[in-house]
Amino acid sequence: MKPNEFLDAIKSLGITLTKEKEHLLNIYANFLLEYNEHTNLTAIKTVEEVYLKHFYDSLTLTKIANLEQGKLLDIGTGVGFPGLVLAIVFPNLEVTLLDSNNKKILFLQECLKKLNLSNVKIIYNRAEEYTKNHREVFDYVTSRAVAELRILLELGIPSLKVNGSYLVMKGIIQEELENSQKTLKNLSCEIILKEEFELPNQAGHRTLLKIKKEKPTDLKYPRRYDQIKKKA
């Protein structure tokens, strides 16, 4: 997907970019590919792939949520997807990028210097440690294909405000949905929207989930990561 094709494609998502936002995405794409030449961050090697598999894919979250404003936490952000793309496109959205991979955090810090965004924080920490100490503060939590759904829920739901939404980006997810039912109940949340579609250019199947938090999370969550992995 070339940049001009990307601009046309996101119109179907109700998004039209200013020239400044186009410029920032261009800086982001080129810096990522340049940095990736000496530090392996992503298997994606071309601008066209970045615009389709990273930029367009990130913005599909607008299918299930209005992200014009609020506070969003991106768990396991990697090199900034979807969080940093959302921060560029929606400057009134306060975005926290969370990851425990130091190599990727260093990239994000350098990238943010080039983008000069004021609505982004970068946090180097494990998700279960961060959310344990930042409870009920975000309107949205998101993550893209980071871990099994039941694990993601326990890592992210504690940091959501009551009535906030966890926006999950997955591929084919039926088995994970079945395995997450007990976790959904334990964390007092429910799936209120499920959107499935094919990405353009045969780039794969995408499932988006919008999960609403209905009550404050029990203080025993999140548990240690080894416990989360072992038992729902």
Please, which residues have CB within 8 angstroms of residue 70's CB and are 6 or more apart in sequence? 93, 94, 139, 140
* Secondary structure element (H or E) that encloses residue 73, with its range: strand 70-75
| pLDDT at residue 231, as a whole number | 59
Provide the residue range defining the domain that includes 145: 68-230
Phi/psi region, residue 124 (left: phi>0; alpha: psi -120 to 50; beta: rest), is: beta
Confidence bin at 147 (pLDDT 50/70/90)? confident
With respect to residue 38, please indicate whether it lies within any of the assigned structural domains: no
Tell me what the mean pLDDT of segment 133-150 comes to: 93
User: Of the candidates 63, 30, 56, which has an alpha carbon nearest to the alpha carbon of residue 209?
Assistant: 63
With respect to residue 12, please indicate whether it lies within any of the assigned structural domains: no
Residue with tokens 């084919």: 172
With respect to residue 10, please indicate whether it lies within any of the assigned structural domains: no
pLDDT digits (tens, 9 = 90+) for 42-58: 888 899 999 999 999 99
pLDDT digits (tens, 9 = 90+) for 89-113: 999 999 999 999 999 999 999 999 9
With respect to residue 15, please indicate whether it lies within any of the assigned structural domains: no
With respect to residue 199, please indicate whether it lies within any of the assigned structural domains: yes
User: Of the candidates 38, 106, 46, 51, which has an alpha carbon nearest to the alpha carbon of residue 78?
Assistant: 106
pLDDT digits (tens, 9 = 90+) for 15-44: 999 999 999 999 999 999 999 999 989 888
Q: Distance between CA 32 and CA 107 in Å, rounded?
A: 8
| pLDDT at residue 73, as a whole number | 98
Angle at 210 between CA 18 and CA 227, to 5 degrees: 120
With respect to residue 125, please indicate whether it lies within any of the assigned structural domains: yes
Structural domains of the chain, count: 1
